[in-house]
């Protein structure tokens, strides 16, 4: 009679050993409460997706396909967690998944293998390189939510937290810097002797995203608003592209390009308004690190440093630093000019008046108009659900009627300028 069982000399791949353990535990008797647990299906799908026939094994260097399969396995266990509370197989699988994420340096955020055809070695490109498809298949408090950041004018900043600031920030400053992209702007003085600055250069780096795009760099200056990346291409892997939007705004000198990065659900609009540039971006919240630690200096995420802030965006108080004596706008003229362009006296209207008074440059009124149009085009919202949120003009301690506050602030600024 032959001997049964495993021979000591048999060599099993790590994934095979894990699969055998899972199968043994799967047939172990369980209580009626655990019979609804579907961990067996999760184990089977994972084993099938990482089998040697698909070229994915736990003992091989991690690649994008393996991480996708592992995330799919993790998602499957989460969906059956309630029914598997007392199931030993379930808890063993969860523990092993955590080990594998760490061992192979796989991120828990990203595409799953749900859109991959059985028997193929690569996930469907439509899922891997389409953030919205991944978002609908995933779960989490920030899934499907978007954040907006804009920089325009003197410059004025709307952060991902919907906070509005007016800053000096002369020189080069990072707006965004994470695992997906980096954005840096360079601001220069508008008028000699003034603290007013405006953006003269924008550099956007789209970092390599395996299976979707290689690294691409876009750079705009006051002399050139290109409709291509630095390497001369207008696309990256089919899920990253540049669109030229041309001129708009009733005969103004503004032009713009839009960059769409579908694989990370991100859209960017760069405008040239007169001699300067504006920037707007819409990104999924789950790609941002809102924690104060470890995210570095990022103006879009944390706002401007205190030393660079012009204290009140609503103009309640003098603007720091000297202002050039040659001014072509009074409060009345600046207000009338901005009313021609902006119909609602909101934070963008206030920015418009502020810039005309501090710079005397009529082009800055179009910067505020363009920023408002970019907010409408790239609103912060739930995925295809919420309308754009109304900008918050005042903090909780400062909420008053914006009309009188604006009038008093402008009057104070005029007195200081005089």
> Residue 242 — φ and ψ, nearest 5°?
-115, 130
How far apart (Å, rounded) are the C-alpha atoms in residues 265 and 267? 7
CA-based angle 22:23:29, to the nearest 5?
Answer: 100
DSSP 246: E
Residue 186 DSSP code: E
Mean pLDDT of the chain: 74
Dist. CA 113–CA 354, nearest whole Å = 51
Task: Give 272-321 pLDDT, tens digit per residue.
Answer: 998 899 999 999 998 887 765 556 789 999 999 999 888 644 444 344 44
pLDDT digits (tens, 9 = 90+) for 157-186: 999 999 999 998 999 999 999 999 999 999
Extract the tokens encoding 245: 């939007």
State the Cα–Cα distance between residues 343 and 10, nearest whole angstrom: 78
User: Which of the four pLDDT bands, split at 50, 70 and 90, describes residue 330?
Assistant: confident
> In the CATH hierarchy, which top-level class contains the domain 146-417?
alpha beta
183: which residues sit within 8 A by CB, 6+ positions away? 174, 175, 176, 177, 202, 203, 204, 205, 268, 279, 281, 300
Residue 368 has pLDDT above 70, yes or no: yes
Q: Are 282 and 382 in contact (CB under 8 A)?
A: no
**If you search the block for the tokens 């440093």, which residue do you land on?**
305
List, for residues 184-199, the tens digit of each pLDDT value: 999 999 877 677 889 9
Q: Are 43 and 25 in contact (CB under 8 A)?
A: no
Where are the chain's structural domains?
A: 14-128, 146-417
Looking at residue 170, the DSSP 8-state letter turns out to be -
Quick: pLDDT tens for 198-226: 999 999 999 999 888 999 999 999 999 99
d(CA 360, CA 10): 82
Q: Are the beta carbons of 198 and 190 closer than 8 angstroms?
A: yes
Q: Is 0.75 topped by the overall pTM?
A: no
């Amino acid at each position: 009679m032959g001997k049964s069982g495993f021979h000591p000399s048999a060599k099993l791949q790590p994934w095979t050993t894990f699969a055998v353990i899972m199968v043994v535990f799967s047939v172990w008797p369980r209580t009626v409460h655990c019979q609804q647990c579907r961990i067996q299906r999760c184990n089977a799908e994972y084993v099938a997706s990482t089998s040697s026939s698909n070229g994915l094994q736990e003992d091989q260097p991690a690649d994008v396909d393996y991480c996708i399969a592992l995330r799919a396995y993790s998602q499957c266990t989460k969906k059956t967690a309630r029914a598997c509370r007392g199931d030993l197989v379930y808890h063993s699988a969860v523990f092993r998944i955590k080990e594998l994420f760490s061992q192979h340096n796989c991120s828990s955020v990203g595409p799953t293998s749900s859109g991959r055809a059985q028997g193929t070695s690569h996930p469907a490109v439509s899922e891997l390189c389409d953030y919205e498809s991944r978002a609908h298949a995933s779960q989490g408090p920030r899934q499907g939510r978007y954040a907006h950041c804009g920089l325009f004018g003197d410059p004025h900043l709307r952060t991902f937290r919907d906070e509005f600031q007016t800053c000096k920030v002369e020189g080069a400053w990072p707006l965004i810097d994470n695992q997906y992209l980096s954005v840096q702007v360079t601001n220069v003085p508008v008028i000699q002797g003034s603290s007013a600055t405006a953006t003269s250069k924008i550099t956007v780096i789209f970092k390599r995203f395996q299976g979707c795009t290689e690294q691409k760099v876009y750079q705009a200056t006051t002399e050139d608003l290109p409709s291509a990346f630095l390497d001369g291409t207008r696309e990256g892997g089919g899920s990253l592209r540049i669109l030229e939007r041309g001129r708009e705004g009733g005969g103004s000198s503004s032009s713009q390009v839009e960059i769409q990065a579908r694989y990370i659900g991100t859209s960017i609009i760069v405008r040239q308004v007169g001699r300067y540039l504006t920037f707007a971006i819409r990104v999924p919240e789950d790609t941002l690190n809102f924690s104060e630690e470890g995210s570095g200096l990022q103006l879009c995420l944390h706002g401007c440093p205190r030393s660079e802030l012009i204290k009140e965006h609503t103009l309640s108080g003098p603007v720091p630093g000297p202002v050039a004596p040659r001014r072509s706008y009074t409060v009345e003229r600046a207000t009338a000019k901005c009313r021609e362009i902006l119909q609602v006296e909101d934070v963008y209207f206030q920015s418009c008046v502020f810039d005309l008074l501090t710079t005397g440059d009529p082009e800055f009124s179009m910067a505020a108009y363009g920023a408002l149009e970019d907010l409408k085009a790239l609103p912060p919202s739930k995925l295809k659900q919420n309308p754009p949120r109304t900008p918050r003009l005042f903090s909780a301690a400062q909420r008053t009627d914006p009309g009188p506050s604006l009038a008093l602030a402008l009057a104070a600024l005029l007195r200081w300028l005089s």
